[in-house]
Amino acid sequence: MKINREWHEKHRMPEKATFEQRVKWHLEHQKNCQCRTIPAKLTEEMKAKGMI
């Protein structure tokens, strides 16, 4: 999997990120970098809240 190092350097995950911040970061990450998928636990939480 290819990492977009420039994107990662400019878009750090906030410390103690809220659920909403985590979702936003991971969705933007998915658009800009394919180094990994959204974590399964977060995906489950998103499904439970009807976000996907």
pLDDT in tens, 1-51: 789 999 999 999 999 999 999 999 999 999 999 899 999 999 999 999 998
Q: What predicted TM-score, i.e. pTM, was given to this entire model? A: 0.87
| Neighbouring C-alpha atoms within 13 Å toward the C-beta of 46 | 15
Q: Is the pLDDT of residue 52 over 90?
A: no
Q: How many domains does the chain have?
A: 1
Q: Do the Cβ atoms of 20 and 4 come closer than 8 Å?
A: no
Query: What is the pLDDT at residue 19?
Result: 96
Q: Do the Cβ atoms of 29 and 11 come closer than 8 Å?
A: yes
Residue 42 falls inside a structural domain: yes
Query: What is the pLDDT at residue 9?
Result: 95
Residue 26 falls inside a structural domain: yes
Residue 34 falls inside a structural domain: yes
In the 8-state DSSP scheme, what is residue 25? H
Residue 13 falls inside a structural domain: no
Residue 27 falls inside a structural domain: yes
Range of the domain at 25: 19-52
Tokens encoding 41: 């636990």
40 three-state secondary structure: helix
